[in-house]
Amino acid sequence: MFQNIFSSLIDGILLVSRDLTIQKSNPAVEEMFRRSKDLFEGRPVTELFPIQPDIQNKIERVLDSGISYRDLECEGFQKSTATPFPVSLTLSPYLDQSGHIQGAILQVKDMSLLKELQDYSRTLDNLSQMESLTLGMAHEIRNPLGGIRASAQLLRQELENPEQTEYLDVVISEVDRINRLIERMMNFTRPRELNIQEINIHKVLKDITLLEQEAVTQRNIRLEQVYDPSLPLIQADEDQLKQVFFNLIKNAIEASSDRGKIQLITRVSTGYSIKASPTANPGQSIVVEIVDSGMGIGESDMKNLFTPLFTTKSKGSGLGLPISLKIVENHGGKIKITSEAGLGTTAQVFLPVQQR
Ligand SMILES: Nc1ncnc2c1ncn2[C@@H]1O[C@H](COP(=O)(O)OP(=O)(O)OP(=O)(O)O)[C@@H](O)[C@H]1O
Ligand SMILES: [Mg+2]
């Protein structure tokens, strides 16, 4: 039974002997560091935390004096990808039956997802300070814009030279673009009440794919839908969630090349990621994944994704993701984006089944 518990834990466990080599590892820690068992056992534990000499000191103190440490923030190192990732470590002495210290037990929690989600939320916090300013400005800009548009239209009717009317068409369409942008910003900043109902997320996705069908067929994009039929209904605002999936699927289409593939996947969340968040809902949640095989996102752009007005597109407004995040957070959910430049992007939307 102990063996089963050891293998079933979602936190990583390492048993370290007195000479600081790893004696045992469980599957969770193997997954976290992306190495197989053989590459753990017998290896020095410091290999896993190369940039943190104080971890070695702390393990030595556990071995010498039997003290323990809880929730040490530290960086693990994935050798295969050569990338550090945040972990939380708890160190305890491993005692034999007569109470002698035989080694140390390291409990390793992967904090990557939690860290990322906190960073996103921080971007949103900065945002609220901007909100009142934005709203005020938006009003001020819209009024003169209305005047510019109306005058351009009148002038256009007067003109006969087609080349000149073309210039005015540009004025009018650009004014319209600014107007749309402002409208979206105002919708974004204006707090909107959630109209919560029991909804079927598959129906929401079906409506959105219908809406995007034309763009998809035109560009020969393969849209695969892998839905979990046992997915529960969720309590949410259908219209607002439609906006979220519209934005995410639109991004996936825009990133895809012609004949690319987009997958929509639904499943029940195993819950770890949401449980790990202090603000989250401990109840059950579902995940919707939008997986594209498009151009991907460069590393430097990753941290700006949820910053309002950040866009790499000539016609983008850079509001799709921040608006979507705000809606999902209002529902007590989370959005996580992972991407590899050149290979594609995955957007995961976690939504609690029940609102409280
Ligand atoms: N699936 C994706 N693949 C590649 N890049 C993406 C993807 N989703 C988002 N991005 C990047 O994130 C940026 C911000 O996305 P966001 O949806 O907020 O704005 P936008 O798509 O540029 O404009 P808008 O959605 O307002 O029309 C995009 O400009 C793009 O660089
Ligand atoms: Mg977008």
Query: Which of 189, 210, 235 corresponds to the end of one domain?
Result: 189
pLDDT recorded at residue 189: 67
Mean pLDDT of 244-259: 95
Query: Does 269 share its domain with 183?
Result: no
Report yes or no on 115 lying in a domain.
Answer: no
Domain count, the chain: 3
**Ligand 1: residue whose CA is nearest its atom 28:** 311
- Mean pLDDT along residues 12-23: 95
Q: Are residues 216 and 343 in the same domain?
A: yes
Does the CB atom of residue 312 touch ligand 1 within 6 A? Answer: yes
The DSSP code for 21 is: B
| Mean pLDDT for all residues in the chain | 87
Rounded Cα distance between 343 and 297, Å, is: 9
Q: Determine if ligand 1 sits within 6 Å of the CB of residue 317.
A: yes
Domain boundary among 55, 81, 110: 110
Same domain as 268, residue 185: no
Q: Is 119 inside any structural domain?
A: no
Share of the chain above pLDDT 90, in %: 51
Q: Is residue 264 located within the same domain as residue 179?
A: no
On whether both 345 and 210 belong to a single domain, the answer is: yes
Residues 230 and 166 in one domain: no
Q: What is the pLDDT of residue 190?
A: 64
Distance CA 122, CA 140 (A): 28
Pull the structure tokens for residue 127: 């945002």
310 within ligand 1 shell (Cβ under 6 A): yes
Q: Is residue 220 part of a domain?
A: yes
**pLDDT tens digits for range 68-104:** 999 899 999 887 777 889 999 999 999 999 999 999 9
pLDDT at 265 exceeding the cut of 50: yes
- The number of the ligand 1 atom at minimal distance from the alpha carbon of 310 is 14
pLDDT tens for each residue of 23-34:
999 999 998 998
Average pLDDT over residues 268-287: 61
Phi, psi of 17 (to 5 degrees): -85, 180
pLDDT in tens, 133-162: 676 677 678 778 888 998 899 899 988 888
User: Which ligand 1 atom sits nearest the alpha carbon of residue 347?
Assistant: 1
Judge whether 117 lies within some domain.
no
273 part of a folded domain = yes
Specify the pLDDT at position 274: 43
Which residue among 184, 212, 250, 311 has the greatest number of ligand 1 atoms within 8 angstroms of its CB, and so is best to mutate?
311
Query: Which residues constitute the domain of residue 238?
Result: 197-352
Looking at the structure, tell me whether residues 61 and 156 fall in a common domain: no
The residue among 163, 229, 189, 197 whose CA lies nearest residue 323 is 189
- Asked if 19 and 103 touch (Cβ cutoff 8 Å), the reply is no
Ligand 1 binding pocket mutation candidate from 184, 261, 321 (most atoms within 8 A of CB): 321
**Residue 120 covered by a domain:** no
Same domain, residue pair 154 and 298: no
| CA neighbor of 351 nearest in space, from 254, 269, 251, 256 | 269
Predicted confidence (pLDDT) at residue 296 exceeds the cutoff of 90: yes
Percentage of the chain exceeding pLDDT 70 = 90
Residues 94 and 143 in one domain: no
Residue 109, pLDDT above cutoff 80: yes
Is there a single domain that holds both residue 309 and residue 173? no
Q: Which residues surround ligand 2, an ion (CB under 5 A)?
A: 251, 320
Q: State the Cα–Cα distance between residues 116 and 224, nearest whole angstrom.
A: 28
DSSP string covering 110-174, please? E-HHHHHHHHHHHHHHHHHHHHHHHHHHHHHHHHHHHHHHHHHHHHHHH---HHHHHHHHHHHHH
Domain at 241, CATH number? 3.30.565.10
Give the domain CATH number at 46. 3.30.450.20
Residue whose C-alpha is closest to residue 202's, from 281, 266, 255: 266
Domain boundary among 189, 216, 245: 189
